[in-house]
Structure formats: C-alpha cells, structure tokens
Amino acid sequence: MPQTDAVPPKAAPKNRTHWLYLAVIAAVVLGILVGLLFPDFAVKLKPLGEGFVGLITMMIQPVIFCTIILGVGSVASAAKVGKVGLLALGYFLIMSTFALTIGLVVGNLIHPGSGLDLNDEVSAAGAAQAEAGHGSTTDFLLGIIPDSLFSSLTSGDVLQTLLVALLIGFALQQMGSTAKPILTVVQYAQKLVFRVLAMIMWAAPIGAFGAISAVVGETGFDALKSLGLLMVAFYLTCVLFVFGVLGTVLRVFSGVNIFLLFKYLAREFLLILATSSSESALPRLIAKMEHAGVDKTTVGIVVPTGYSFNLDGTAIYLTMATLFIAEAMGEPLRLGEQISLLVFMVIASKGAAGVTGAGLATLAGGLQSHRPDLVDGVGLIVGIDRFMSEARALTNFAGNSIATVLIGNWTDGLDRERLDRVLAGELPFDERTMVDDDPEPAAPTAEPDPEPVGAR
C-alpha cells in the first residue's frame, strides 16, 4: 500500500505537462483550419504568436547569463572551459561547412528558381528586407561589445550576454572560495528564471494557435504552388543533413542513436514547430541535457554558443535561397561568387538564431553587400519564408542538441550510463526539476555538480 500511495504525487505533474503539449498540437491543427476558412480573421491573430515568442525571448538572456556563470565559475580550472569552448567552435565550423556544401550541391542540381517572374511588388518586398538586413562584418564584431555591463542583459543581443557572462564566470573562477556566495545567488536567480518560464509555457497553446493561424491566413496555398520545389528541396536537404550527416557523426563518435535522442526532445521540437523559433526551446534544452548526464560546464558553454555559431539550418537556407534568387532573375552565380557570398552571410547571421525572419534579413543584407542587382529577388521568397523558418529552427536545434552530446563525450563531461538510461525511458525528465524549490541549495564547489538537473 505505501508504494501505491506514493505513485499519484509523482505522476500528477507529468500528466499536467502532457496535457499542455497535447493542447499545443490541438492549437496548431485548429490554427491551420482557421487560417484556411477565415483568412482575414486569422491574420489578425498574429499578435498572439508574436506575444508568446516575445515572452520566451525576454527570458533567454537571463537563462544564458546564469547558465554560463554557473558552468564556468564552478570549475576549478580555466583549462576545462577552454578545452570545451575550442572544441565546440571547431566542431561548429566543420558542421557549417558541411551544411554549406550540401546546400550548394542540391541548389546547383535542381535549379529551383528557373522560370519565375519578378514583378514590381516582389521587387519592393526585396528592397525592404535588404534595408533591414544590411550591415558590415565590422559592425557585427563591434556589436558584440555592450554599452555597459548591465545592458548586456537588456540589449536583446545574445552574443553580448555571452561575452559578459564568460568574463564574470572567469572572474569568479579566479576568486576561489570567496566566489561561493555569489554563485549561490546566481543559483537562486536561475531557479527564479525557470519558475517564470514554467508559468509562461502555459501560454504556449495560445501562441501556437495565433502564429499558425496568421501564417496560413496570409499565404494560403496559392503562394506555395510556384515555390513548392524550393520548399520541398529545402526540407529534404535539412532532413538529409540532420539524419545523414549529424546522425552518422553522432552514432560513430558517441554510439548514440539519433532517433532516441530526438524522441527524448520531442516536446521541444513541437514547441519550435509551433513558434518557428529555436530559442523558445533553449531553456528546456539546457535542463534536459543536464538531466541526460552532460555536465553543467559543457552544457553552459556549448548550448548558448551553439545558438549563435552553430546555425546549420540557416547555412542551408542561405545557400539554397541565394541560388534560387540568382536563377529566378537570370543571373546565375559562378562557384567562386557562391562561396564568398555565402561565407559572408553565415558570419553575418551569428547571434540571429531563434529570431523569426532574421534569416530573410541576413539573406537580403548579404546580397545588398555583394550582389545588389539580386536584392529585388528576395521578394520572391517572402511568402514562404515563414514555412522555411520552421525548418531552419528545427535543424539548428537538432544540430545544437547533437553537438552538446558529442562535446560532452569528447571532453569526459558525459555520464554515458545515465544518458543511456534516460534515452531508454528509465529516468524520465521531471518537469518539476526546472522549478525545484529546495530551500537550501548546495553552494557550487570547485568541481562540476555531480547531480545533473532532473536527477532526482
């Protein structure tokens, strides 16, 4: 009997979150129907989706700030942080190169832009996007430095938060035992942030309904007919990259099955699909990776850095969209032009992960800087960019989740036995661990926390 009585309290919270994500699925289906049947009304629902993404986005910088400080400040040596960071950046560079290559090959094979016409309305749309996305590499690099230490938490620029959090983390590391009270305060702040996020998540069905309704109401099916080949080719290329390239790398170098990992992250993929923003799942990815056995230092460095530098989906999108526009306007790019232009775009897109529409602005800005004669063609894909944004976000998220497991495995920051048990369903993620109200959390020590989030 005591065992039977102990089951309901543990099951109840899981049931509640289960219903939450079923509600998200129902909201997506309902949103599609409303968008098709009542398009004019559906467009007016767009603020619901924008509002929910805005609520999530306002919490991203505090999450990254706390996570990096705890991850960097709680280890005994900067060597561990440096090893993880350098390995992560090297891996991101290699994977981005693979993504660019696959996009170039597919784009040059199918020539999806052939036969399309460019009218005045489309040209105006392209010019508007170019104005939003124009910027030099120097502006990008200087933009990483915030106006002040505290403005890095309010600027909306993830890279500024990343820089300041790393500096503070290293400073606390050098302070030794005197930094423990500060780290304890950051622990409490992180719990507060996750508590707020848990409250916001209950608005996910409303946000999903508004976002899907609006995009279906705006585009319907007419806008997809002439551009269907590009969409299909882009989605298939993303699938090929994720399961063919990333899945193979994950299996060969860690022995982990990509399908089991994605099953574990199914709710996060659903949330991204509904909002078209990979940042909406960033806090949950941090918690789940720690629960799966990846240490705090690795998670704290790889996940936030990956959201700015590991944009595989964006690289594929920029590649194929550029070739599409050039073909559509009768100005095919030579191979040298393709490579130089796309390398610039990938660099310019850093820090834009999770921002719906940022990929389109980067595309227009890159063309404006290198091939201004092609800028008008950006308007050709404005109508379907929202659908392609979902594939970009899903691919970026998949790449970052796989990178976290791989880097953890390569740097001895992964509890492989625990990971296997988690992926097998023996240690399910408990939503309560994200908002655990332990009245006396243990102060961080000189070693990484041996008990990942969700271990209890």
CATH number of 2-435: 1.10.3860.10
What percentage of the chain carries pLDDT values higher than 70? 70
Pick 171 or 402 by higher pLDDT: 402
Task: Rank 303-312, 329-338, 379-388, 430-439 by mean pLDDT and report only the highest.
Answer: 303-312
pLDDT at 79 (0 to 100): 64
How far, in whole angstroms, is CA 214 from its chain's centroid? Answer: 22
pLDDT at 453 (0 to 100): 43
Least confident of 146-155, 217-226, 232-241, 342-351: 217-226
The Cα–Cα gap between 337 and 343 comes to 10
pLDDT at 390 (0 to 100): 78
Least confident of 164-173, 370-379, 410-419: 370-379
pLDDT at 48 (0 to 100): 83
Question: Residue 177: is it exposed, middle or buried by C-beta count within 10 angstroms (0-12/13-18/19+)?
Answer: exposed
Position 49, amino acid: G
Residue 444 binned pLDDT confidence (cut-offs 50, 70, 90) = very low
The answer to whether the CB of 264 falls within 8 A of the CB of 292 is yes
Residue 347 binned pLDDT confidence (cut-offs 50, 70, 90) = low
The answer to whether the CB of 67 falls within 8 A of the CB of 155 is no
Tell me the two tokens of residue 456. 């209890």
Least confident of 52-56, 116-120, 211-215, 263-267: 116-120
Q: Would the pLDDT of 114 be above 60?
A: no
Task: Rank 226-230, 241-245, 356-360 by mean pLDDT and report only the highest.
Answer: 241-245
Q: Would the pLDDT of 371 be above 70?
A: yes
Residue 384 binned pLDDT confidence (cut-offs 50, 70, 90) = low
| pTM for this predicted structure | 0.67
Q: Would the pLDDT of 30 be above 50?
A: yes
Q: Would the pLDDT of 163 be above 60?
A: yes
Q: Would the pLDDT of 186 be above 80?
A: yes
Q: Would the pLDDT of 87 be above 80?
A: yes
Mean pLDDT, residues 413-417 taken together? 90
Task: Rank 210-214, 255-259, 345-349 by mean pLDDT and report only the highest.
Answer: 255-259
Least confident of 203-212, 259-268, 395-404, 421-430: 203-212
Pick 63 or 183 by higher pLDDT: 183
CA dihedral 72, 78, 84, 88 (to 10 degrees): 90
Q: What does pLDDT average to over the chain?
A: 74
pLDDT at 423 (0 to 100): 93
How far, in whole angstroms, is CA 125 from its chain's centroid? Answer: 26
pLDDT one-digit tens code per residue, 263-286: 999 888 888 877 767 777 888 888
